[in-house]
Amino acid sequence: MGKDKNPRRVAENEAMAKLRMLRTSPQKLNLVAQLIRGKKVDRALTDLTFSNKRIAEDVKKCLQSAIANAENNHGLDVDELIVAEAYVGKNLVMKRGRPRARGRFGRINKPFSEITIKVRQVEEQA
């Protein structure tokens, strides 16, 4: 009598986590996302831990969430996970301003962005 279960948005050997409203520009966030794409998750966590970028701490939290989703919700093996995809999107932009000379107004945009991380289980080659 109830509703049917929603189909999964990712494959059977994948898990996903999304983090919204990150207070940085998408361009700066994409530099950190490039750092972890295609790597094994333990190596990616290490790279994010020792990165000098401020936003790397939030990306690390999102990656840990994706790993936890893979382990607890989908029963995947954590040791065989890689970062399959890490992509960045735009979110809202706060418009602020500052008075300038001769009665003008200097516009200051404060962008927000979001990141989506997908991890995939791959069997290691012997």
DSSP one-letter code for 121? E
What residues does each domain of the chain span? 14-121
Residue 125 has a pLDDT of 65
Angular region, 64: left φ>0, alpha ψ -120 to 50, beta rest: alpha
Q: Residue 26 pLDDT > 80, yes or no?
A: yes
Strands 14-22 and 81-99 turn out to be unpaired
Mean pLDDT, residues 12-33 taken together: 96
Q: pTM of the entire structure?
A: 0.91
Across 62-66, average pLDDT:
97
The fold of 14-121 is Ribosomal Protein L22; Chain A (3.90.470)
Read off the pLDDT band of 123 (50, 70, 90): confident
pLDDT tens for 80-111 read 999 999 999 999 999 999 999 999 999 999 99
pLDDT of residue 104: 97
